[in-house]
Amino acid sequence: MPSSPILISSHHRVFVLTGAGISAESGLKTFRDSGGLWESHRVEEVASPEGWKNDPEMVWRFYSQRRAQARQCQPNAAHFAIAELETSIVDRLFLVTQNVDDLHERAGSRSVIHMHGQLNMSRCEDPDCGSLPFVDEQLYESKASFAVCECGAVVRPHIVWFGEQPFCMPEIEQAIQQCDYFIVIGSSGSVYPAAGLVSVIAHRRNCGASVRSIYVGPEAPNNARLFDEIRLGTACEVVPGLFAE
């Protein structure tokens, strides 16, 4: 029997965290295989400050390939269902994604926190520059094509690499303390700090808070024991019928 929809009342606050699984259902490669490789690259080669310092040309070539691939993908039924939920409950939905694509936005979501950055944006490599990240869909295949900031430094992908602090953590930490439902969709439960958010929910519940955590994915995540409920199935199968008002 299918699980019953989650009944969202007029006062409930919903925190949704999406991971690579929801984008994979749109055909977007997750890039990370069982051997820890991203498109035959070690993680530290293309997703770390050290990798950028050692070979920025390779890093930009890698993210240019990701940009090109993302353009070919379209939002799926799960993305649209989340956008519809936002239309219904407006600012009582707090949507965070670990994904760097813009599939949520293209489905109609207006308020999306990209905790790991955005693929279609770039920023100055100098943290002291003060310039803001900007929309950038260019494909950089060689150093000769690199964009340069007004300060003279090279522009880098607006992506959170390993060893860097995810974006908007104060806002995320505040929202996790205020939500009534915590829904995780397509995240493996292995990348922190996102994987640790459900432990905050478990602690709140143990302290007497009326809060519920639900995981949606084709298989249980690494942190499954911390969830109140696991709903197995693809995001496209489960999410469109997940909520009721």
Which residues carry out catalysis?
116
Containing 201, the helix (H) or strand (E) segment is helix 197-206
216 SS3 class: strand
| Residue 144 tokens, joined | 């000769």
| Residue from 222, 176, 223 nearest 203 by CA | 176
How far, in Å, CA of 230 to CA of 224, rounded? 7
Phi, psi of 94 (to 5 degrees): -115, 110
88 SS3 class: helix
Strands (E), 52-203: 93-97, 112-114, 117-124, 134-135, 155-159, 181-185
